[in-house]
Amino acid sequence: MNQIGLVIIGSGPAGTAAADFVRKQSAMSVTVVSDEGLQFYVREHLARFLSGRDTEDALFERGRNHCETIGAAFIAGKVARVDPREKSVSFADGSVIKYGDLLVASGGKPRELDVDGANLDGVSTCYTLEAARGLKQSLDSARRVTIVGGGTIAAKLIPFLHERSTEVTVVERSPMLLSNVLDRGASSVVKRALVDNGVRVIENGEITEFIGEKGKIRHVQLRSGDPIPCDTAIVAVGIRPSVGFLNEAGVKIDRGVVVDAGLRSTAGHIFAAGDAAQAPDPLHGGAPTVHSGWKKALAQGEAAAKSILNREPGYSGSINSEHLQILDLGVAAVGITATSNVVREVVESSVEKRFYRKFTFDDTGLTGAILVEKDLPAKELRSALERLLLQKKRPSLGSVSEYEGLLRLPAHALVNRLVEMQGL
């Protein structure tokens, strides 16, 4: 059994950001553990890899041996159990290591469909590099692809499949696409754009079986309707936090590991960051919330590292935040986007013009926004909105008419206005 300073479970953005910070700022030893057996790669770019725009090597932006580069150890192995009293991590192969501090940055695992045929050749997820390698080979000969799930993974895959002139069907179990990101009005605009570009969209669709021939996927069967012919089926029905190894550790787990603003869990010397963490959301009174995303994982990883080194984390919490490019549509959604008896809204939309804007606000100021439109600078708008809403004092425009003015500004003028509002 080895004595180790900081052990990080997970080699994704949160774990890597923490490892980088600790190694640069201290002499503390760091060991990074990955059940994929791979060091840091940009999971967000797997769709680019599938499209051929990025090589596999390009995914490893910091090199395939980043841990060695920064002076950290690396272990390829599956964690089975964490014991906070012994401050130990046990692996599936029976080996054990000790930690001084532990960072859980294990991310999530793709949810699976418990239906017949789920193991057929041509049925795949797209969450890991290993899965993407197999999927890429399958797509080389695929003419018809069914994506099971109408969330952000589907949104990122559709553009490159469309470029290949692949016949695409999206099956979403809920009544609308991107239900975790958009409201019904914005979702309708996205759906119209997809349908106009030849994508078949089936909402309220429940998969009951993958039908194969000689071990290869040939059809997807829904609870109602005829089977959907397909050569490849991509299962993208969300992820669940990968924290089962903490079940006996006495750590509070809800939708993820519940942490405070310093990313500390309820167990001593155990921290969590990224998709495995349920961190404070300042727009919901600091209530712990899971907000997935690459940028948030990086910020949480560095904040956790500062806490581990007994420094001020400088972390103001995380909020709902997403941007997407879906064909020629830019999509940005940030903050509280649902109305209530407290939060009000102003909206302007046109499905025919593929345009949707909504701003939500309460008595203390702006609380969120959804923007969907052609050629929208979605990344810039998301960034501006996120900075605005994470300020300690959110800006208030006062009257409803002033919020309505945001609906009519050209997109780039809106970015500038949101930047100006940060000083209000």
pLDDT per residue, tens digit, the chain (424 aa), is 444 699 999 999 999 999 999 999 999 999 999 999 999 999 999 999 998 899 999 999 999 999 999 999 999 999 999 999 999 999 999 999 999 999 999 999 999 899 999 999 999 999 999 999 999 999 988 999 999 999 999 999 999 999 888 999 999 999 999 999 999 999 999 999 999 999 999 999 999 999 999 999 999 999 988 899 999 999 999 999 999 999 999 999 999 999 999 999 999 899 999 999 999 999 988 888 888 889 899 999 999 999 999 998 888 888 999 999 999 999 999 999 887 777 889 999 999 999 999 999 888 888 999 999 999 999 999 999 999 898 877 777 777 888 899 999 999 999 999 988 887 5
Same domain membership, residue 245 and residue 233:
no
Q: 102 and 49: one domain?
A: yes
Task: Tell if the pTM clears 0.95, that is, is over it.
Answer: no
Residue 206 covered by a domain? yes
- Going across the sheet that includes 287-289, the strands are 257-258, 277-281, 287-289
Q: In 10 A of CB 345, how many CB atoms? A: 20
Q: What is the DSSP string of 348-417?
A: EEETTTTEEEEEEEETTEEEEEEEEEET--HHHHHHHHHHHHTSSS-----SHHHHHHHHHS-HHHHHHH
Measured between alpha carbons, how far is 390 from 315 in angstroms, rounded to an integer? 10
CATH number of the domain at 401, please.
3.30.390.30
Residue 115, domain member (yes or no): no
Do 85 and 16 lie in a common domain?
yes
Q: Which residues of 70-83 are buried (b: 16+ CB within 10 A; e: fewer)?
A: bebebbebebebbe
Domain contains 93: yes
Please tell me whether residues 249 and 276 are part of one structural domain.
Answer: yes
Cβ contact 379:334 at 8 Å: no
Domain boundary residue, one of 237, 256, 272: 237
Q: Check whether residue 250 and residue 102 sit in a common domain.
A: yes
How many residues does the structure list for the chain? 424
Domain match, 271 and 231 both: no
Is the CB of residue 337 less than 8 Å from the CB of residue 185? Answer: no
Angle at which helices 411-421 and 378-389 pack, to 10 degrees? Answer: 20
Q: Are residues 221 and 139 in the same domain?
A: yes
What is the percent of the chain with per-residue pLDDT over 70, rounded to a whole number?
A: 99
The answer to whether residue 313 sits within a structural domain is: no
Backbone angles phi, psi at 28, to 5 degrees: -60, 135
**CA dist., res. 155 & res. 170, Å (int):** 10
Question: In this predicted model, what pLDDT tens digit does every residue of 276-292 receive, in sequence order?
Answer: 999 999 998 888 888 88
> Are 294 and 395 found together in one domain?
no
Tell me the DSSP string of 32-101.
Answer: EEETTS-----GGGHHHHHHTSS-HHHH-TT-TTHHHHHT-EEEE--EEEEETTTTEEEETTS-EEE-SE
Same structural domain for residues 231 and 246?
A: no
Beta strand pairing call for 257-258 and 96-98: unpaired
Tell me the Cα Rg of the chain: 22
Residue 320 identity: N
In a domain, 81, yes or no: yes
The CATH code of the domain that includes 251 is: 3.50.50.60
Are residues 41 and 101 both part of a single domain?
yes
Does a structural domain hold residue 40?
yes
Mark whether 21 and 99 lie in a shared domain. Answer: yes
Predicted local confidence at residue 343, as pLDDT: 83
Instruction: Tell whether 114 is covered by a domain.
Output: no
Q: Is residue 316 part of a domain?
A: no
Could you say which of 237, 252, 281 is where a domain stops? 237
What residues make up the domain containing 221? 123-237
Domain final position from 211, 237, 263 = 237
Q: What's the rounded Cα separation, in Å, for the pair 124 and 197?
A: 24
How many domains does one find in the chain?
3
Q: What is the pLDDT of residues 43-62, one digit of tens each?
A: 999 999 998 899 999 999 99
Residues 203, 280, single domain; the answer is no
Phi-psi group of 216: left, alpha or beta (phi > 0 → left; psi -120 to 50 → alpha; rest → beta): beta
DSSP 227: P
